[in-house]
Structure 1
Amino acid sequence: MLILQRGAVLCFAFTLSLPCAAQAKSALSAYIRENAPALVLDHVRIIDGTGAAPQEDMRIVITGGKISALHDAKSHGDDPANAKVLDMTGKTVMPGLVGMHEHLFYPLPNRPADGLGLYAEAADSAPRLYLAGGVTTARTGGSLEPYTDLELKRAIEAGKIPGPKFDITGPYLEGKGTFAIQMHQLSDPDDAARLVDYWAAEGVTSFKAYNYLTADELKAAIDHAHAHGLKITGHLCSVGFKQAAALGIDNLEHGLVVDTEFFPGKKPDVCPGFRENLNYIVQSLDVDAPAVHDMISDLVAHHVAITSTLAVMETLTANRPPMQRESAALKTMTVEAAKEYLTVRSTMAEQKTGEILLHKEMQFEREFVASGGLLMAGCDPTSYGGVVPGFGDQRNLELLVEAGFTAVEAIRIASLNGAKYMGKDGEIGSIAPGKAADMVVLGGNPAEKIENVEKVEMVFKDGVGYDSAALIRSVNGTVGIR
């Protein structure tokens, strides 16, 4: 039996006139605006990702996919003689974002009243939208289809489809009681160890522990991940932050809002309930309490990073984000997905606790950084929808500024800090000679107005400039199903 997918049929039909490899190349080139062997971005403002002040009227030289020189626009230095020069007067260039809590799936709409929560692999939309939004490197924060995620990574690296550089996390390390039918439930520590060993061999580059696993299962997963030279993060509930740090975890997701160690009567290896814990944090937990400060100090001492996911947290608050901010993201969603998101969003208008929770998390993140902690960022495009890859990462930057960080500090959190955690800060995460030319060209200055991070015109990955608008147009109306 001969079964051919549509693409394979087309490839077969045109074999005599056009090689398939050429077709793949032309499909990718539809999104490329600049791909000169040597390129100069002239008269540009640079926010380099280190937290330093913007540098005005600069010149960035790109050769061989890397940044070969940075200097004042008045001095041409040793620019390549045949370089293509782009006048970028009025533009800002910042480093490509290093998204540290991203996903390649999205909630499916139209769930029956007694139906299961299901998530569709966003194989077409997510990679393009991340890149279009300025994310040039992304760690997936848990996988529901790890083989699909790995194949997407390989297809992107082979130049077959556009997308960021991916660090693929293995399937969720989840215990008994999960809400998601698509997650394997660990049976014991040996099961956790087996899962880590298997997926490390398959090529995943990180792991994520989830709500219901036990401390013994978490310890087994950590030890086996570390034995493979890989890191493990966690969105935990059964295990508190200090206990996880003592067990050797590398990173914790979301921050204070999911830490259950302060919940009255918390029992070992038992998740007290998400809503119950959130209500306790809102009503009773003081971020300035000595116990919280002690937890922060403990995480810093153990070198445990925190991933800020303010964009998804904001969806739990009333009338946020502003609807005018949502219009572009809504266009990328299917009609059904957009309708479901807006319907649930409207119910949040009746909630009074979300704003308190959001601001407590913002305070926690400020104090974590002030204490010397490594804060990173990712948009976590899940929950009940609305947080769309790329757009959500931009919103994170705006919310970090609302939390009290300066614009250049927020950009560092969302770029260089993630690169440092991954051990790749010598290659990516900031704009400096010798690093990969992973950069975002903005039609405004985010240091003056952070909302200018939404004005993405072009995204460079390894020196190739992708057209943000073209990438978005190619998947408009697909988020929620593809």
Structure 2
Amino acid sequence: MRKALLPFLCFLIQPPHCWAQAAPKLSPELRSFVKEDAPVVALAHVRVIDGTGAVPRTDQTLVIANGRITGMGDAASTKIPEGAKVLDLKGYTVIPGLVGMHDHMYYPAPGGPPALYPEHAASFPRLYLAGGVTSIRTTGSVEPYSDLELKRAIDEGKMAGPKIHVTGPYLEGHGAFTLQMHQLKDAEDARRTVEFWIAEGVTSFKAYMNITPEELVAAVKAAHARGIKVTGHLCSIGFREAAALGIDDLEHGLVADTEFLPDKKPGECPNPATANKALLGLEVASGPILETIKDLVTHHVAVTSTLPVFETIVPNRAPLDPRVLDAMFPEARISYLRRRAMISDGAAKSDWPALFKKELEFEREFVKQGGLLLAGLDPTGYGGVIAGFGDQREVELLVEAGFTPVEAIHIATSNGAEFLGELDKIGTLAVGKLADIVVVQGDPSANIKDVEKVEIVFKDGIGYDSAKLIESARGQVGLR
């Protein structure tokens, strides 16, 4: 009983011996990235965007102790405990740690076919954390054991990185485009796969483009029986059919939905470019697309926005961010820039400017109709989207879609936590919640680009140096 009471008493009274017991044991490697780890830290005179969607509050003080937020309010009235380390943050803003909901641990290998996606367990965890991403769902794994062991190493304080919710291997049918995906044989194989990987420790699954309806039903049934959710990047199955079959989330939004192609065959994945052309003549706020949105909302199916990966397909649109280019292995940088130039050369014939605009409209309408929109980056495509930096770009693009900066931050923090069932712990800033906090210079509520100016990322009350984490990964993306 005494052991059970101790954490509660520590939270209430926070004596020095409680702080010592709460301090994680960090490896020397991880310790080198730590900027703030005093037993009690006060973030004073800071602007607070709390993730709830509420109006930002200026001149606030947050107190962090024992890994949690123990005080928050007006600087003039919030008591700072004796002995606390005080950071004067005039001119800074704090937001909740981002919750990345399509944040893989792999990246496309340069060099052409076959399509391969090597695990990036060295660079990506550091870059996610550096970018202010304190929790992620991997949303599809090509090396699930690597992801599980990486999660263990981060949780044990051996490596820098976010809290990881590991998604199992892709649930793909016949016709996988990469050698790294198992192709399901039938519904029984789908059931076995789900049950095996739940036993291994994964906490979600992702159905992929060529899965059959029968396989999806079997996977959803097996996962739901154990309280596990299933998302999908689908092609063989349209969104409304997937909702009826019990899926919990759909990745990428409108441009991944093939149901609007007039001659689509049931259970078959059509040519994506042909399916996308069918979208061009449809309105988002009326007709069949609006009916699909309403159907998803009725079935409580979330949608994960991954705007950065689609932006790279729009000719001459994605910013040439020096931070992204510096993080790349030279061969990866050359491969990305060459492909980018090829896309630019084809600008006159590209449907993607119109498709991207329609995707922005879809996500805004989905939320307007009551849908739960999640945020991620998807570091795939042809290599222009990178961990952490891409998560920040996603928030910026949500603002371009028509959301206010405060709404976009809410989507990228609170909504993800809600879907993961962790809103009582993370996703917003409030007394009692875990101290997953991002300190940025400037005011993202006035200029959303300030979300890129991350200086310190607190995860469970430990403050990590964003610049050091970024520097440690320089030149590694595309390699490891």
TM-score category (smaller protein): over 0.9
- Equivalent position of 1:268 in the other structure: 266
Aligned equivalent of 2:445, options 436, 444, 447: 447
Task: Tell me how far 1:80 sits from its aligned partner.
Answer: 2.0
Aligned equivalent of 1:33, options 21, 32, 35: 35
TM-score (normalizing by structure 1):
0.93
- Contact (CA 8 Å) 2:64, 2:435: kept in 1 or not? yes
Q: Does 1:339 align with 2:334?
A: yes
Give the secondary structure class of the aligned counterpart of 1:144.
coil
Once the two structures are superposed, residues 73-92 of structure 1 have per-residue CA deviations (whole angstroms, 9 ceiling, x without a partner) of: 11233x32111111011000
- Equivalent position of 1:72 in the other structure: 74
Give the secondary structure class of the aligned counterpart of 1:414.
helix
Q: Distance in 1 between matches of 2:222 and 2:182?
A: 18
Once the two structures are superposed, residues 19-40 of structure 1 have per-residue CA deviations (whole angstroms, 9 ceiling, x without a partner) of: xxx9962211110000011110
Aligned equivalent of 1:290, options 287, 299, 303: 287
Q: Does 1:470 align with 2:455?
A: no
Give the secondary structure class of the aligned counterpart of 1:120.
coil
- Equivalent position of 2:20 in the other structure: none
Once the two structures are superposed, residues 238-268 of structure 1 have per-residue CA deviations (whole angstroms, 9 ceiling, x without a partner) of: 0010111111100000001011111111111
Once the two structures are superposed, residues 126-153 of structure 1 have per-residue CA deviations (whole angstroms, 9 ceiling, x without a partner) of: 1000000010000001000000000000
- Equivalent position of 1:230 in the other structure: 228
Aligned equivalent of 2:322, options 327, 339, 349: 327
Q: Does 1:380 align with 2:378?
A: yes
Structure 1 residues 185-196: aligned runs within 5 Å: 185-196=183-194
Moved more, 235-244 or 350-359: 350-359
Q: Distance in 2 between matches of 1:312 and 1:279?
A: 19
Give the secondary structure class of the aligned counterpart of 1:396.
helix
Letter in 1 for 2:303: I
- Equivalent position of 1:412 in the other structure: 410
Task: Tell me how far 1:273 sits from its aligned partner.
Answer: 1.5
Give the secondary structure class of the aligned counterpart of 1:45.
strand
Aligned equivalent of 1:59, options 61, 71, 78: 61
Once the two structures are superposed, residues 164-188 of structure 1 have per-residue CA deviations (whole angstroms, 9 ceiling, x without a partner) of: 0000000000000111111000010
Task: Tell me how far 1:206 sits from its aligned partner.
Answer: 0.4
Give the secondary structure class of the aligned counterpart of 2:278.
helix
Give the secondary structure class of the aligned counterpart of 2:101.
strand
Task: Tell me how far 1:285 sits from its aligned partner.
Answer: 2.7
Letter in 2 for 1:184: H
Task: Work out the percentage of aligned pairs sharing the same amino acid.
Answer: 57
Give the secondary structure class of the aligned counterpart of 2:69.
strand
Once the two structures are superposed, residues 339-371 of structure 1 have per-residue CA deviations (whole angstroms, 9 ceiling, x without a partner) of: 101111112212332111111000000100000
**Alignment gaps of 5+ in structure 2:** 1-23
**Alignment gaps of 5+ in structure 1:** 1-21
- Equivalent position of 1:15 in the other structure: none
Q: Does 1:316 align with 2:313?
A: yes
Q: Distance in 2 between matches of 1:42 and 1:366?
A: 35
- Equivalent position of 1:93 in the other structure: 94
Letter in 2 for 1:346: A
Task: Tell me how far 1:300 sits from its aligned partner.
Answer: 0.4
Aligned equivalent of 1:397, options 395, 398, 409: 395
- Contact (CA 8 Å) 2:25, 2:157: kept in 1 or not? no
Letter in 2 for 1:390: G
Letter in 2 for 1:71: G
Task: Tell me how far 1:72 sits from its aligned partner.
Answer: 0.7
Letter in 2 for 1:478: Q
- Equivalent position of 1:430 in the other structure: 428
Q: Distance in 1 between matches of 2:370 and 2:309?
A: 25
Q: Distance in 2 between matches of 1:359 and 1:53?
A: 28
- Equivalent position of 2:144 in the other structure: 146
Q: Distance in 2 between matches of 1:247 and 1:144?
A: 25
Letter in 2 for 1:293: L
Q: Does 1:116 align with 2:118?
A: no
Letter in 2 for 1:72: D
Moved more, 284-293 or 442-451: 284-293
Letter in 2 for 1:286: E
Q: Distance in 2 between matches of 1:26 and 1:203?
A: 27
Give the secondary structure class of the aligned counterpart of 2:35.
strand
Moved more, 272-281 or 90-99: 272-281
Once the two structures are superposed, residues 424-449 of structure 1 have per-residue CA deviations (whole angstroms, 9 ceiling, x without a partner) of: 00100010011100011001101111
Give the secondary structure class of the aligned counterpart of 1:460.
strand
Task: Tell me how far 1:460 sits from its aligned partner.
Answer: 0.5
Structure 1 residues 328-367: aligned runs within 5 Å: 328-349=323-344, 350-351=346-347, 352-367=350-365
- Equivalent position of 2:106 in the other structure: 105
Structure 1 residues 115-264: aligned runs within 5 Å: 115-264=113-262
Task: Tell me how far 1:275 sits from its aligned partner.
Answer: 1.7
Q: Distance in 2 between matches of 1:403 and 1:56?
A: 26
Q: Does 1:300 align with 2:300?
A: no
Aligned residues between the structures: 454
Q: Distance in 2 between matches of 1:475 and 1:43?
A: 32
- Equivalent position of 1:3 in the other structure: none
Go from structure 1 to structure 2 and tell me whether the alpha carbon gap of 1:198 and 1:409 turns closer, same or farther (over 3 Å shift).
Answer: same
Letter in 1 for 2:428: S
Q: Distance in 1 between matches of 2:200 and 2:76?
A: 51
Moved more, 464-473 or 268-277: 268-277
Once the two structures are superposed, residues 54-74 of structure 1 have per-residue CA deviations (whole angstroms, 9 ceiling, x without a partner) of: 100000000100001111111
